[in-house]
Amino acid sequence: MPRSSTASHWQRTVQVVSLTQIAILVGFNFAFPFIPLLIQDLGVTDPSQLELFSGLAIGMGGIVMALASPLWGMLADRFGAKTMFVRAVGAGSIALALQAAVANVWQLIAARMLQGALAGTNTAGAMLVAAIAPKERTGWAIGLMNAAIQVGNLIGPVLGGIVILVIGVRGSFLVGALLLAACTVAIVALVEDAPITASPPVRAGVGGGLRDLMAPFAWPGLRGVMIVGSLIQIAYSGTVPLIAIYVQDLHRPEWLSEEVAIGLAFAVSALAAAVAMPILGGIADRHDSRRLLVVSLVVIAVGLVPQALVPDALVFLFFRLFIGVGLAGMTSAIAVLTRAGAPDGAEGRAFGALAAAQNLGWGFGPIIGSAVAAVIGIPGLYLAGAVGTLIVVVPAALSKSWFVPAEGAAEPSLLRVSEPAELP
């Protein structure tokens, strides 16, 4: 089917993928926010060790995902984005089931690394949506999908907290695995694949395959999104794994249990992001995405500072709303800038390279954050995250030549179709 298929066709596909992502993220969020609780269940109770192992369990999965993402992106361009989407969701189901069955913290880390290597559902969905949507509607399409993801992020942690109260933390992981298995079947039956268009030429042999795999990192139009995407993930993700530990120490009203408070800490930012993403995605399509990126980074920094200073869980939850809005703008801007910097037929490799950069930051961020928290405490970590986010604003604001403008993105001026196969 040619790329010029009817609007109803590509919009219907985007809507189906988006609805599926809601269920996928609900499944993952039955587990992810509660990893520190599972580590406590495995017998790790010393606060410093708990912080360290929480960072490792989350961070090592991100590092492995960073290494695997370019490969999945290249395979999406060659064999279809739907195939990669099915692979990611099915592998996520298996990984969650394994995490429900672990006997010690090292097995948990190994299962998280397996999830990082084989899953990556957000990136796989973005590859499919970016490939099937018209270039000038990329921000809206990926914004809709990311809004759905945030709805899953909103519902999942709250339901997960309730499920843990009923059947325990391991049971919550297993329920998440079953939900992802059902999503895998639904994707096979309902989701249409994007057309495989003529992509830039690839090289023969193992050496040529490796050069083709690494080619997106040399594309001038992707330089900015990969650098900024990696740095902001380091600054922000360092604060995420310890939310469950931090909330335990905040004052809470009697009606707010620890498990539900942890779920709400993730859910309120997801709520703000879900509301903001379709709006900000449209703004990213129509205006300078780089400006939206800069403003969003500032909003994230502003939201992190008070979280380090508040003694009350309810006030902490309020400032999580700012994080959600900032993440919505940042995600929408980076998606449009990535699509603008990718030649036609190479969208999978572009988003795979972006995922590698972001997951590298997501991998090292929690490890660095855990180490920082062990030295200066979790409140100090939030302040450090705010400072790190503001530092990222500098290259995002000043390095205009690192980005292909979203306006006129259908004909990116910094790239030629012959360039991606070449490394300097």
CA-wise closest residue to 99 among 54, 161, 8, 32: 32
pLDDT in tens, 332-387: 888 888 877 777 667 677 777 787 888 788 778 888 888 888 888 888 888 998 99
Alpha-carbon gap, residue 58 to 112, rounded angstroms: 7
CATH of the domain at 49: 1.20.1250.20
Give 108-146 pLDDT, tens digit per residue.
Answer: 999 999 998 888 888 888 888 877 877 777 777 877 887
319 in a domain, yes or no?
A: yes
The answer to whether position 284 is within a domain reads: yes
Per-residue pLDDT at 419 exceeds 60: no
Confidence label for 251 from pLDDT (cuts 50, 70 and 90): confident
Q: Give the CB-side neighbour count of residue 161, counting CA atoms within 13 A.
A: 19
User: For residue 411, is it within any domain?
Assistant: no
Give a yes or no: residue 51 inside a domain.
yes
- Measured in whole angstroms, how far is the alpha carbon of residue 332 from the centre of its chain? 12
User: The tokens 């205009």 sit on which residue?
Assistant: 400
List, for residues 133-182, the tens digit of each pLDDT value.
777 777 778 778 878 887 887 888 888 888 888 899 899 999 999 999 99
* pTM exceeding the 0.85 threshold for the entire prediction: no
Whether 414 is covered by a domain: the verdict is no
pLDDT averaged over the chain? 80
Q: Among 3, 49, 283, 263, which residue's Cα sits nearest to residue 143?
A: 283
Q: How confident is the model at residue 218 (pLDDT cuts 50, 70, 90)?
A: low
Distance CA 289, CA 336 (A): 7
Strand partners, 312: 251
Full domain range(s) for residue 34: 8-196+206-402
Q: Please tell me the total count of domains within the chain.
A: 1
Q: Which helix (H) or strand (E) holds 23?
A: helix 7-29
